[in-house]
Amino acid sequence: MTDNEIRFSHLRPAEVTSRLRNYPVIYLPLGPLEWHGPHLPFGTDPLIAQAVARQVCERIGGIVWPTLFWGTERERDPQTLENLGFSRDEYIVGMDFPANTLPSAYCREETFAILVREALEQIARTGAKCAVLVNGHGAVNQVQVLRRLTKEFNHRSELRVLVGLVGSQDSASCGSGAHAASGETNAMLHLHPDSVDLSQLPPIETPIRYQDFAIVDGPGFDGTGSPDKVVTEDPRANPSADAGRESCQGAVELICKQVKKLLK
């Protein structure tokens, strides 16, 4: 190992102890393997979270825990279904729209809570003082699970836990952000350009409807989007790795501030 190694899985015991002595923080990136349109990989959420966690760690110190490629979703409520162009009585879980060719790897909410709890307990045993859950998936129930666990650990253990939400929302938000639209596409163009294939989408003159590809902008979830249920944050329009870099950098800066404040 070198002094630049920050991955827990690649560190020897003395190296773990040394890094935590200098900065007692462990970052846990997480997110589900989830459908992100035909043009993005299933690991979009956890891969973005992983990159942000590593950049935060490189900037201020600590160790990065192995990425947890798990996450949860619930059935869509009637109003959201209507906002997306479906009938109010359809049963659709998360982004697994009927037209998708493959399902996401969501787990049940209670299973997700167990997985994260186990990881936090393992992190606590390392002697770290703070665990940062770098969450790449903004589902309401996923964020709620993480907040419940954060509150529990902060009141019942010596480990301080912080949730850092990556994406168009800050960590104080629990609403709906865009999914597989320009923001996440640009981030993946910056982080993993070979994993993005915009040719899998129709030509730019063909509108992308929410129902057709499970690509949705933030207003689409909230009912304030296009009346035709068409994506306005179009991933085909001006794709930019530079914009993705700026977005990731914003998430890094926010989480750095939150960690520093917590440690004080």
Please report the pLDDT score of residue 112 as a whole number: 98
Q: How confident is the model at residue 82 (pLDDT cuts 50, 70, 90)?
A: very high
Instruction: Tokens for 169, please give them.
Output: 């929302």
Residue 41 has pLDDT above 90, yes or no: yes
For 193-221, what is the mean pLDDT? 97
Cβ partners under 8 Å of residue 238, min gap 6:
182
For 129-155, what is the mean pLDDT? 97
What predicted TM-score, i.e. pTM, was given to this entire model? 0.95
Are the C-beta atoms of 226 and 232 separated by less than 8 Å?
Answer: yes
Q: How far is CA 53 from the centre of its chain?
A: 11
Rounded to 10 degrees, the C-alpha dihedral 240/244/246/251 comes to: 170
**97-112 confidence digits (pLDDT tens):** 999 999 999 999 999 9
Phi, psi of 101 (to 5 degrees): -85, -20
- Judged by average pLDDT, the poorest of 2-6, 44-48, 55-59, 141-145 is 2-6
Residue 67 has pLDDT above 90, yes or no: yes
Q: How confident is the model at residue 2 (pLDDT cuts 50, 70, 90)?
A: low
CA–CA separation, 235 vs 105, rounded Å? 23
- For the four alpha carbons of 91, 95, 96 and 99, in that order, the dihedral sign comes to positive
CA–CA separation, 71 vs 32, rounded Å? 4
Percent of residues, the chain, with pLDDT higher than 90: 93
CA–CA separation, 150 vs 42, rounded Å? 27
Residue 171 has pLDDT above 50, yes or no: no
Residue 175 has pLDDT above 90, yes or no: no
Tell me the DSSP string of 129-140: SEEEEEE----H
Q: How confident is the model at residue 1 (pLDDT cuts 50, 70, 90)?
A: very low
Q: Where are the domains of the chain?
A: 8-175+240-263
CA–CA separation, 5 vs 36, rounded Å? 31
Please report the pLDDT score of residue 38 as a whole number: 98
Q: How confident is the model at residue 229 (pLDDT cuts 50, 70, 90)?
A: very high
Residue 264 has pLDDT above 90, yes or no: no
CA neighbor of 65 nearest in space, from 17, 23, 123: 123
For 141-166, what is the mean pLDDT? 96
**83-100 confidence digits (pLDDT tens):** 999 999 999 999 999 999
Residue 174 has pLDDT above 50, yes or no: no
Q: Which CATH number fits domain 8-175+240-263: 3.90.340.10, 3.40.50.10310, 1.10.1240.10, 3.30.70.260?
A: 3.40.50.10310
For 243-260, what is the mean pLDDT? 96
